[in-house]
Amino acid sequence: MSRLHLPPIPLAVESPEVVRSRSKGRTRIVGGLLLAVLGLICVRGAQLCIAPSDRTIREANVRRWGQVTLQARRGQVLDRNGRQLATSVDTPNIIVDPQMVPPDAIQPLSEALSTVLGRPEDELRSEIGRKGSRYVRLAQRVHPRTVVDVERVRKSTNLPKPALYVERASRRYYPEETLLSHVLGFISADGHGRAGIEFSLDEYLSGGTILFQRRHDLRGLAVDGPLGDTARQRAAGMTVHTTIDRRIQRITERALEGVLLRSDPVSASAVVVDVETGDILALANVPTFNPNAPGSDPAPRRNHAVQDAIEPGSVFKPFTAAAAVEEGLVTGASPIDCEGGTWYLGRSRIRDDHPHGMVTVSDVVKYSSNIGAAKLALQVGAEGFIDYMHAFGFGERTGIALPGERRGTVRSADTIRPIELATTSYGQGVTSTVLQLAMATAALANEGVRMKPRLVTRVEDAHGVPEYVQGPEEVVRVISPETAREVTEMMVTVTEPGGTATRARVPGFRVAGKTGTAEKAENGRYGAGRIGSFIGFLPADDPVLAVVVSVDEPRKGSRYGGIVAAPAFAEIGEEALRYLGVEPDPELLDEVTESSEEEVERVDNEPIRLAWAREGWEIPDLGGRPLREVVAGLGPSGIQLDIRGSGHVVGQDPPAGAVVAPGQPLLVTLK
């Protein structure tokens, strides 16, 4: 079947006039609509410009403005001569904006920065090419020289400043490192003080928080210049001026380092006080730490001089004598019967390590008689004696600008028993800090006036305007000038031949002092540990400095204050007076200051005491003991002594703490 082919139907062709007429109509309609829309837009725009809504304003501000929060520079800590002890240093950070770095610039930029920053190229390439981020920190706390090198790299790669820039930051820096670390303290990662002055004065040092408003363009980039350094300076932390003398602090710490080497104690502390003003010229502890890198171990960071309350021992006796003299009960020449070395108070027995009969009150201090001190306290009476101890500052905080200060303990006059009053008189059953002892010693030197310890003289803002000022402050007159001078003369005899502290003598000066060797309480009972101390001031005739040295549990050599602490006192006193320009007495320069150990220890040692431990005697540490004390202390026990050499004990076998049954041998080596 064939397909039928029909001819095409011709279409009618419109004339140009018809087409042109229809297109003009459509153009008018579309144009009219566009004009209407544009008119609406203009009206709405005018409305938004003239009377925008709150929501529109908020949205515009969010898009237009950005906020940057910065912490102002932390304030400085200076010594009394204006030397920096703690400051803040600029530590620039290198920042990149990945979205501002063209893809073809990532590789060359990574290569160049790898050399400058000392980082692997692949790590930098990954961070620079990170998408979706506008802020990537490539390096922290870089050297200023590195900043110059980074700027050179930016220019060589033709990057705009917002793409690679330097962020200004700061970190805390202690120029003297370990020097004065326990007083200065350190700061945490968030910039707040964690110990010492950094903690107690954090509100002054920390400075303000600065909130910057920065304008952004359509791409979100800041169009303002660098964040204002002027604003940072205005909000900077305040400057703290201390009473510390950096030179005397260094002298004191060097003396304690010598104690650490010679005696291997658990810790040692020293405080140096300006007698007239109460200024703390030095406060040191060992072991120490570096506040630039304080570490996680809290033990070296403990400020033992302020935060440890210890039994002072025999260094308490000058204060007992001062109370009795001030009450008019005795003078330095008054006789006092020491009962031949043993005295019973009720059922309790008080012993002198080195027996004496009738002596003077001055000799009670010189020979460190427990019996004499106890009788003086009983004469004064509980209420009066405790009042004097509180007046000297024991049992209350000194108020120094350091955290964690201990109060110490002094028994109440209402509840104290006679035997407790007696033991308190020679520093047993009472506790104090090294700082309290220093301020009480300074009161004796300052003609009986106790000053408040001053560590901070003033705090100034960024313009030098004082925010806080502390002048010398008298707390109380404890004793009269006459009593103070009489007790001073008693303390001078301690450092003269026959006294307990001949090693504390300083050529060219008369020294007033007192030794102490206190038993250390462990788990509520007295153990084998000892705390050797020395308190004193010099020159005795016109005191300038009061110095206290305390050595906690020396584990090598002698344990007694006259040997472990007195030499450190002499070293501090001699060098500090020379530095301060105090002239020595030429007549005293030729005096012999060295004495035999036997003379030093003769009146300071406690008798050897043995404790029975079921199967035998527990042997104490005999180190530094003279032969006669070893024989007197161990002879009645039945232990077979094997004596090698002469002089003082330098070794023993079995060692201290071992149990030796009667009849067994004990090797004692002397030299």
- Residue in the block written with tokens 């084998």: 528
- DSSP H helices, 426-497, are 434-445, 481-495
100 by Cβ neighbours in 10 Å (0-12 / 13-18 / 19+) ranks as: middle
Chain centroid offset of residue 393 CA:
22
Spatial contact of 316 and 426, defined as CB atoms under 8 Å apart: yes
Phi-psi region of 399 (alpha: psi -120 to 50; beta: other; left: phi over 0): left
CA 425 – CA 315 distance, rounded (Å): 10
Instruction: Find, among 312, 533, 562, 559, the residue nearest to 428 by Cα.
Output: 312
Report DSSP letters for 246-277, one per residue: HHHHHHHHHHHHHHHHHH--SEEEEEEEETTT
User: If you compute the radius of gyration of the chain from its CA atoms, what whole number of angstroms results?
Assistant: 40
Spatial contact of 605 and 530, defined as CB atoms under 8 Å apart: no
CA 317 – CA 585 distance, rounded (Å): 28
CA 540 – CA 171 distance, rounded (Å): 46
Based on the residue annotation, tell me whether 314 is a catalytic residue of this protein.
Answer: yes
Chain centroid offset of residue 130 CA:
44
CA 164 – CA 416 distance, rounded (Å): 74
- Residue in the block written with tokens 């070296």: 300
The Cβ of residue 664 has, within 10 Å, a number of other Cβ atoms equal to: 13
Whole-number Cα distances in Å, 44 to 2, 47, 58, 337: 71, 5, 18, 109
| Farthest CA pair distance, the chain | 162
Which H or E run contains 343? strand 342-345
Q: Reduce the DSSP state of residue 217 to 3 states and report it.
A: coil
CA 436 – CA 429 distance, rounded (Å): 16
Instruction: Find, among 370, 363, 357, the residue nearest to 332 by Cα.
Output: 363
Catalytic, out of 110, 267, 269, 314: 314
CA 440 – CA 394 distance, rounded (Å): 8
Residues 6+ apart with CB under 8 A from 601: 558, 560, 562, 563, 624, 625, 626, 648
**Cα atoms in the 13 Å half-sphere on the side-chain side of 336:** 29
Task: Cite the active site residues.
Answer: 314
